[in-house]
């Protein structure tokens, strides 16, 4: 018997080259969202090998989020944080969309700046200290990356490299007045005079130009508004002293990231007016893990879709997945098998021991909008779900499309949410398990929620 005869009648697979064409022409149910995914996939697979994980980057949602965040503080510049390959969404995909909507970009890796430079000549800021090799790479490629400085050792290294390459490097002073404690010049009373003396030394360096003062709020999403207010006020005060003392009045001043901007209305205008820029990443891509009302206005940018590979029967008392976290409770319970932890999402987001049912804090959603429990702990390339929907109205079949969603019941007060909600900062392009172009097909879709 030929392989094509073993496949579902929905999809007749003839050979590897035409597999995606058969899929796109099949009679799979086409909701509005899945129809948009099909359109995007149809274009993508004309030029790329077929993959069973589809990540639709919703252009309309990304535009909406950028415009919404800009309206939150129209007088300040909007800096798009594209670290970690744009939070797994793909720098090469999102930069052309964001280019007319943002004022500048923030990155952590030199290769991220290289990707942006293929599209944009706007300011690029590295929002962490760089190693010498990273800086050299950026100088050789002419990427014009503005670097973050939190110590004079770092600054002198940058200055020396700038002189050696016969250029000047623009720097942002990182003032640690918020308790981040990770890096940055100390604003502690005992160290403040030392910090000011160090900054004065930098002004005389032939290879450095101070173009900004930055900070970072470690608890900007905290419900304790008064505590956050005090930290912002302290940062603004220290930045004001530096700018006045060294006549740096026209430089950028920025401390708010996504959560800070969303809650900026809680900060008095007389304090906010000293800030010139806001850095947004998580909110830009629709992540909603913030303690503020306006989070409901954000739209999810990434839609993760995969397909049911098989459906099989399990009996009461049997276990499912590594660790045996889930135990079958009904006779002849139907399980479906699809993509797993390594190919589409972080394994930690799916651990079956996250609650006492052995059911992970996400769900699969079928074309009719019914939820299906993900059961137990997934392997690297597969996971099991209950083929019967949670309301008992739908039974998954082989080759059915399903979307990866967060469990609304697991995230109090949230509506259904893409799994990217659980990913604050995915790893780099090479190792990321969400938005990884080596394991998933990423493409643009246009979908109105």
Q: Taking each helix axis as running N to C, give the angle between helix 225-245 and helix 192-203, from 0 to 180 degrees, rounded to the nearest 10.
A: 40
Q: Among the three residues 292, 324, 342, which one is the final residue of a domain in this structure? A: 292
Let me know: does 345 contact 404? Beta carbons within 8 Å.
yes
Question: Can you give the pTM of this predicted structure?
Answer: 0.84
- Residues 240 and 357 occupy one common structural domain: no
CATH of the domain at 197: 3.20.20.10
Q: Given this model, what pLDDT does residue 363 score?
A: 76
Domain of 7: which CATH number? 2.40.37.10
- Ordered DSSP codes for 99-139: TTT-SEEEESSHHHHHHHHTT--SEEEE-S---HHHHHHHH
pLDDT string in tens for the chain (449-residue length)? 332 333 333 433 344 444 444 444 444 445 788 889 999 999 999 999 888 888 899 999 999 999 999 999 999 999 999 998 998 899 999 999 999 999 999 999 999 999 999 999 999 999 999 999 999 999 999 999 999 999 999 999 999 999 999 999 999 999 987 666 667 888 787 889 999 999 999 999 999 999 999 998 876 555 556 677 788 888 999 999 999 999 998 999 999 988 888 888 888 888 899 999 999 998 999 887 666 767 788 888 888 888 888 888 888 888 877 777 788 888 777 777 776 655 555 444 444 344 444 666 677 888 878 888 888 776 777 778 888 888 888 898 888 888 877 555 544 334 334 433 333 323 222 233 455 667 788 999 998 87
C-beta neighbour count of 250 within 10 angstroms? 8
pLDDT score at 422: 34
Instruction: State both tokens at 348.
Output: 């930690």
Looking at 257, 292, 327, which one is the last position of a domain?
292
SS3 321: coil
Q: How far is CA 233 from CA 217, 240, 250, 256, in A?
A: 12, 10, 19, 12
- Are both 273 and 315 inside the same structural domain? no
Do 202 and 306 lie in a common domain?
Answer: no
The reply to whether 184 and 235 lie within a common domain is yes
Residues 325 and 410 in one domain: yes
Are 377 and 247 in a shared domain? no
Q: Give me the pLDDT at residue 360, please.
A: 62
Report the half-sphere exposure of 80 (CA within 13 A, side-chain side): 31
pLDDT of the residue at 443: 94
* Site of tokens 């998954």: 396
Q: What distance in Å separates the CA atoms of residue 95 and residue 402, rounded to the nearest whole number?
A: 28
Spatial separation of the C-alpha atoms in residues 382 and 419, rounded to whole Å: 16
Cα–Cα distance, 427 to 87 (Å, whole number): 8
The H-or-E segment that residue 141 falls in is helix 132-141
Phi/psi for 69 (5° steps) reads -70, -35
Are residue 166 and residue 34 in the same domain, yes or no? no
For the chain, the domain total comes to 2
353 and 409 together in one domain: yes
The reply to whether 191 and 48 lie within a common domain is no
Q: Which of 292, 325, 340 is the last residue of a domain?
A: 292
Q: Which domain holds residue 398?
A: 3-56+301-445
- Are 228 and 207 within one domain? yes
What region, left, alpha or beta, does residue 147 occupy, with left being phi > 0 and alpha being psi -120 to 50 degrees?
Answer: beta
Is the domain of 307 the same as that of 285? no
Residue 112: per-residue pLDDT: 97
Are 232 and 92 within one domain? yes
């Amino acid at each position: 018997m030929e392989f094509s005869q073993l496949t579902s009648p929905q999809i007749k697979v003839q050979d590897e080259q035409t597999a995606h064409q058969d899929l796109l022409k099949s009679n799979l149910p086409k909701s509005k969202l899945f129809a948009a995914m099909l359109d995007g996939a149809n274009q993508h697979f004309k030029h790329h090998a077929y993959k069973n994980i589809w990540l639709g980057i919703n252009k309309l949602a990304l535009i909406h989020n950028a415009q919404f965040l800009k309206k939150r503080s129209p007088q300040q510049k909007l800096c798009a944080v594209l670290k970690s390959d744009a939070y797994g969404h793909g720098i090469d995909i999102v930069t052309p969309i964001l280019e007319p909507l943002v004022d500048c970009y923030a990155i952590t890796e030199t290769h991220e700046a290289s990707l942006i430079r293929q599209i944009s000549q706007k300011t690029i800021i590295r929002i962490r200290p760089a190693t010498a090799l990273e800086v050299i790479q950026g100088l050789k490629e002419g990427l014009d990356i503005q670097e973050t400085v939190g110590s004079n050792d770092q600054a002198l290294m940058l200055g020396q490299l700038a002189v050696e390459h016969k250029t000047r490097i623009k720097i942002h002073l990182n003032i640690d007045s918020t308790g981040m404690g990770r890096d940055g010049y100390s604003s502690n009373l005992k160290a403040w005079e030392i910090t000011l003396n160090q900054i004065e030394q930098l002004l005389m360096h032939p290879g450095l130009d101070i173009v900004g003062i930055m900070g970072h709020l470690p608890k900007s999403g905290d419900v304790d508004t008064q505590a956050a207010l005090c930290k912002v006020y302290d940062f603004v005060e220290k930045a004001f002293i530096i700018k006045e003392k060294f006549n740096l009045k026209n430089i950028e001043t920025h401390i708010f990231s996504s959560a800070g901007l969303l809650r900026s209305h809680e900060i008095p205008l007389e304090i906010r007016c000293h800030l010139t820029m806001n850095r947004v990443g998580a909110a830009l891509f629709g992540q909603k893990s913030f303690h503020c009302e306006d989070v409901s206005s954000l739209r999810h940018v990434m839609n993760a879709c995969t397909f049911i590979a098989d459906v099989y029967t399990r009996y009461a008392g049997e276990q499912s997945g590594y660790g045996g976290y889930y135990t079958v409770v009904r006779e002849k319970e139907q399980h479906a098998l699809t993509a797993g932890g390594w190919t589409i999402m972080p394994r930690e987001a799916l651990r079956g021991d996250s609650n006492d049912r052995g059911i992970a804090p996400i769900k699969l959603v079928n074309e009719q909008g019914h939820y299906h429990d993900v059961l137990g702990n997934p392997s690297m390339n597969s996971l099991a779900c209950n083929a019967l929907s949670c309301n008992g109205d739908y039974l998954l079949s082989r080759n059915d499309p399903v979307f990866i969603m967060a469990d609304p019941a697991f995230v109090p007060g949230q509506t259904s949410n893409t799994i990217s909600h659980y990913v604050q900062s995915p790893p780099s392009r090479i190792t990321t398990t969400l938005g990884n172009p080596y394991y998933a097909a990423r493409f643009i879709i246009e979908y109105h929620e």
